[in-house]
Structure 1
Amino acid sequence: MRTLILMSVCAVGLCGCAQNLDAPLSPTFGRAVASMDTQIIPTPISSEPPSGSGVHGAAAIGRYDKGQVYKPETQNTSNVTSYSSSSGGK
């Protein structure tokens, strides 16, 4: 019985090797890489430091130290509303 189970497992495992390696590739082969390449936007390289305002940064640090941090506005990415049923789950 063990021999029969072992032979059937080996036969199933070898079925994956039956593919013809000389067959032409799928027409969509490599599309994922090409699609990803088009989505990458090259950023310009600069030796200049990023722009910023020392006065603005110092004011923000001062507000942080005093506990007067500005609360950011709530932002939504969609206008989805949920509706609840008042039928009691009938």
Structure 2
Amino acid sequence: MGREFRVACPDEEEATLIQAVEFLDQRMHEIRASGKVIGLEKIAIMAALNITYEYLHTRVDGGFDIAAIQRRITGMNSTIDAVMGEQTELFS
């Protein structure tokens, strides 16, 4: 929402951090557009609460964590893409 912050993170996690920033920014804009919440701090808190609520509901009884599975799949896809990019001769 137009504010910038410096956040330290390992280089390999920078893309994920940027993705998180974009997701949070989108949610905050949605809340502001609804007109029900006024003030940047309140909008940030509401966005955090909504995201946390959704995260907690990704956990299924028995400890099955859908979000963790999605992160693993994303990591696997990145690994596959990197390896396939090196194998261009196979598909010529």
Max radius of gyration: which structure? 1
Q: TM-score category by the smaller chain? A: under 0.3
Greater length-normalized contact order (CA 8 Å, ≥ 6 residues apart): 2
Q: TM-score, normalised by structure 2?
A: 0.26
